[in-house]
Amino acid sequence: MGESERVVSHMKGSSLSWQVLLESLPDGTAFLNERGVIHYVNDLLSILTGYSREQLVGQSVTMLVPPRLRDAEFAVRFEKVRDPTTRAIWSNQDSFVLCRDGSERPVDFTLTPITFEGRSWALASIRDNSATRELERAQHVAETRAAEIENIAAAAMAQSEQRFRLAFEDNMAPMVFTSDGGLLFAVNDAFCEIVGRTREELLGFDSKAFTHPDDVGLSEEAYRRIKAGEIDRIRYVKRFQHKDGRTVAAEVSMSPARDEKGETLYFVSSVRDITEERALTEQLSHQALHDPLTGLANRALFDDRLSQAHARVARQGGLGAVMLLDLDDFKSVNDTHGHLVGDQLLVEMSRRFDGVTRASDTLCRFGGDEFLYLAEGLQSADEAEIVAARFLEALVAPFSIAGANIEQHASLGVVVWDKTSKSSTEVVQGADIALYEAKREGKGRHVVYTPDMHEQAVGRFTLVQELHKALAAGELSMHYQPIINLSTSAIVGFESLMRWQHPERGLISPNVFIPIAEESNLILDLGFFALNEAVREASCWKPSDPQAGQPFVTVNLSAHQFHDLGLVPMIESALRLSGLAPERLVLEIKESATLLNVTETMNVMERLMHLGIGFALDDYGTGYSSLSYLALLRPRIIKIDQFFVSPASMSSRTDTLLEAIVTLGNKLNMTTIAEGIETEAQLERLRFLGCELGQGFFFLPAVPANEVAAILVHAPWS
């Protein structure tokens, strides 16, 4: 007699077959008659509810249903159970069972109608889905009480055997019986459905033929562990290959059936399809680790991969690199074309970046318009620079979005590390520092991190903190450099310039602290201070010549200030409080600041010009110097950059350009101011060209506010 026949014969002849099945099931189970009266329960249900078998048998199943759930729907379900022709199944995976102590335990509840001896019955399966620890304890209690099965009367053997058959065949949960050698000798319809095969295709074979290739061996390992006594039952996940080609993810709960001597007779497995659950889990996992706009890895996934890469380099050696890429002036895209176009630009840009990404590396959207790139397995630092250059080259061609051609460039900071690097966090910090240097050097380029950059970054940070304190401590003040009428040598105005007298470092140049302030909103605070001080002090100035008007004052505006929504109200307030006539205030702006958003620039300038305030285009000749912008902006003054005036740069070419700028200003009825006049020869040349105003050390450097009055009375050069 073969193995399968021996096991089947044992099931038919043994009084334990019915009980072995019920007690082997992973769920609490009860047989109910058509009125819902409990006729039999297994140990797991007793353990689950806290009631003994004697307390449950003979009682209505509603004693296990919380009062709030004893509704009409429950009654309707039992009406269907009484119908001997029905095969409907009621399953509720979000239910509760009322325990003896009055508590409610979360469970999965399944009610399967069956017919036995002409009567309607129901098989109720209740699965505890509370903590795993509670389940294990319940299983332990169930095992200690397993001996009670032997007390079932022999007279009930035939009835129990038939109930076993009905429970197995009609159970909505896929079930399978396998021999000690792993061969299938009994399967129910639900199992046939989940794998898409008939009984004839399954019985007598093992499960390898319809198991996913990567999961072959999981069931065999479960058999081995149970037979070796390592565990008494097991729950694991494997994938089946459905006959139609689909992959079905399943949770398998396996228990052994043993004889009186404890020897394994066969295995009982209950299977649950978790394909949709797993797909949802994978979807949620993907959403948690990827940027929703671009689909790239997000910071969480990048940090994890960087940490792993850092550990690999520490163990195995080699080089890795992190690159931080930031778009140059991306804000102007959003301001000009709208955020929808800006988002689409980021998506298109991500596709280009993805096209140059190596398969072994990770591209991440760091946030906003910043991207992080992890390059692994590098042979040299030069290789990292080659990768960086590819990213910048990917942006050379303009983007065509919503009918607009958009040119977008970026700056990139690169840090290369080896096994001596301290941490992955410091690697990203190094890339950020290198990115700052790339921006500072003119954007649209990449810079590789060096250790001295960190010291410079610390110095900048310290200076910013001290600058905050300096503003509150009164260490900042405004100095004023005279602006001279080159024909009459009379003072017509002053340029206001900020000075910082540090208590320990002494006088700190604006060329040092102004660029640092511009990198943060601190420049707005400095700008507020400069404007209010300048208009307040200028309101007290008297004319240097009875024939001349009162001197004007110029105040420099940064790009941040000029595009700040509070600029116009702030200027109106300062003029009102100081009493300074608007015509005596001139705002200096660099051409680059106006180019960020020409439409916005025009609106702001028109509002301020309407008040009578003048504008000076600073450093003209060194920027874009577009004639169209002169026509659009119509500044009152053009300030000629000192490069065209300085003897060090003087040549026939620069002199020709200087003449052209002065002539252009005169033709457009705009006042020209030459900066950086240092010699008599420069002065005479500018007078000859017809330049109206000038300033520089030839006349006087910037002086404190308390010296202005004396200079207005008697100028040293007059």
Query: Which of 74-83, 264-273, 376-385, 594-603 has the least mean pLDDT?
Result: 74-83
336-383: per-residue pLDDT in tens? 788 888 899 999 988 998 888 888 899 999 888 899 999 998 888 899
CA distance 596 to 333: 9
What is the per-residue pLDDT for 359?
81
Tell me what the mean pLDDT of segment 20-43 comes to.
82
What is the per-residue pLDDT for 518?
83
Instruction: Say whether pLDDT at 310 is over 80.
Output: yes
493-511: per-residue pLDDT in tens? 999 999 999 988 888 888 8
What is the per-residue pLDDT for 147?
43
Instruction: Say whether pLDDT at 406 is over 70.
Output: yes
500-546: per-residue pLDDT in tens? 999 888 888 888 888 888 877 788 999 999 999 999 999 999 876 66
DSSP 714: S
What is the per-residue pLDDT for 134?
58
What is the per-residue pLDDT for 264?
84
R_g of the chain computed on alpha carbons: 42
Instruction: Say whether pLDDT at 8 is over 50.
Output: no
Tell me what the mean pLDDT of segment 124-143 comes to.
62
What confidence tier does 575 reach under pLDDT thresholds 50, 70, 90? Answer: very high
What confidence tier does 674 reach under pLDDT thresholds 50, 70, 90? Answer: very high
Phi, psi for 255 (deg, rounded to 5): -135, 150
Phi, psi for 575 (deg, rounded to 5): -65, -40
Give domain 174-282's CATH number out of 3.40.50.2300, 3.40.50.620, 3.40.50.150, 3.30.450.20: 3.30.450.20
Q: What is the pTM of this model?
A: 0.53
Domain boundaries 17-172, CATH class:
alpha beta
Which of 288, 535, 360 has the alpha carbon at shortest distance from 527?
Answer: 535
Phi, psi for 304 (deg, rounded to 5): -65, -45
Answer yes or no: are the C-beta atoms of 391 and 411 closer than 8 Å: no
What is the per-residue pLDDT for 655?
85
What is the per-residue pLDDT for 323?
92
CA distance 596 to 457: 27
What confidence tier does 132 reach under pLDDT thresholds 50, 70, 90? Answer: very low
Answer yes or no: are the C-beta atoms of 73 and 98 closer than 8 Å: no
Phi, psi for 200 (deg, rounded to 5): -60, -30
48-73: per-residue pLDDT in tens? 899 998 999 999 888 888 888 777 55
What is the per-residue pLDDT for 169?
66
Instruction: Say whether pLDDT at 12 is over 60.
Output: no
**CA angle in degrees (0–180, nearest 5) for 273-278-279:** 115
Percent of the chain predicted with pLDDT > 70? 83
**Burial bucket for residue 667 (CB in 10 Å: 0-12, 13-18, 19+):** exposed
Mean pLDDT, rounded, of the chain: 83
- List 698's β-bridge partners, or say none: none
Residue type, 420: T
**CA angle in degrees (0–180, nearest 5) for 160-162-166:** 115
What is the per-residue pLDDT for 154?
39
Asked whether the domain spanning 290-449 has the same topology as the one spanning 174-282, the reply is no
- CATH assignment, 290-449: 3.30.70.270
What is the per-residue pLDDT for 297?
87
What is the per-residue pLDDT for 189?
87
Q: Which tokens belong to 234?
A: 């097991």
Q: Residue 119, CB half-sphere, CA atoms under 13 Å: how many? A: 10
Place of tokens 């290789």: 383
Instruction: Say whether pLDDT at 89 is over 70.
Output: no
Residue type, 465: Q
Would you list the domain boundaries of the chain?
Answer: 17-172, 174-282, 290-449, 480-495+523-713
Domain boundaries 480-495+523-713, CATH class:
alpha beta
What is the per-residue pLDDT for 23?
72
